[in-house]
Amino acid sequence: MSYLLASLLLGVSSEPRYLSGLFFNFDQTSQVNVNGYVINYDFYYENNLKKKQIKKEDIDYSAQKSFEISILLLRRIEEGHKDCRPYLDLNIYQMTRSSLNGESFNVWKESMGIPGKEIFGLYDPTAWIKGESCLLVGDNAPITRGTLIHEFAHYWYDRWCLYGKIKMDTETFARKVEYIYVNEYLE
């Protein structure tokens, strides 16, 4: 059995990946514990990215802050949450802004209802892969944390199975979390 096949079967993810025709280098497998909610994630960066801009601290901070604001938002609208998908792992891909907005991801953008729009990040629940989701982030350094917080809000929405339970779709929820972050948390 080849190493790649064995690594896929055993869940070892240190191999490079191809996603929508782009090559991604593996950087690290890590874990963040957010108030008892554990997120296991693998981080990849696009092969032609000049330098990796997202650090583990950015991911951990964004997961924590997005969690706090999501809880705050749910309290404000008097809704609760339940961890209905506690084993939802995350694959995080950083790529150039041009790649994220290029033809490779038009199908994803169309499926999310945002064809032709410039985006800075994208969350995909990858429902066809049990227990995994995917977060794509462009190399827009000044807005990386805000983008990560927005995309992590989609993750929490998905993990807590909020679809149909609250009067907001995932994009509205993520925008409100990002708005609260920008207006109430940024110094």
DSSP for 6-18, written as a single string: HHHHHT---S-EE
Q: Is the pLDDT of residue 170 over 50?
A: yes
Q: What is the mean pLDDT of residues 68-73?
A: 95
pLDDT of res. 87: 86
Where exactly are the structural domains of the chain?
19-185
Write down the number of H helices and E strands in the chain.
Answer: 6, 6
pLDDT of res. 143: 66
For the chain, helix, strand, coil in percent to 5 are 40, 25, 35
CATH number of the domain at 19-185, out of 3.10.20, 3.40.30, 3.90.320, 1.20.950? 3.40.30
- Residue 144: closest CA among 90, 114, 112, 100: 100
Q: How long a stretch of residues is the chain?
A: 187
Q: Is the pLDDT of residue 158 over 90?
A: yes
Q: Is the pLDDT of residue 153 over 60?
A: yes
Q: Rounded to an integer, what distance in angstroms lies between the CA atom of residue 176 and that of residue 187?
A: 18
Q: What is the mean pLDDT of residues 126-146?
A: 78
Work out the pLDDT band at 156, boundaries 50, 70, 90: very high
pLDDT of res. 32: 93
pTM of the model: 0.85
Q: Is the pLDDT of residue 9 over 90?
A: no
Question: Using an 8 Å Cβ cutoff, are 159 and 85 in contact?
Answer: yes
Work out the pLDDT band at 64, boundaries 50, 70, 90: very high
State the chain's mean pLDDT as an integer: 84
pLDDT of res. 34: 93
Highest mean predicted confidence (pLDDT) among 20-24, 98-102, 179-183: 179-183
Percentage above 90 pLDDT, the chain? 41
Instruction: Compute how many other C-beta atoms are within 10 angstroms of the C-beta atom of residue 23.
Output: 12
Q: Rounded to an integer, what distance in angstroms lies between the CA atom of residue 149 and that of residue 59?
A: 9
Q: Is the pLDDT of residue 8 over 70?
A: no
- Residue 100: closest CA among 129, 140, 59: 140
Which two tokens mark 140? 């827009």
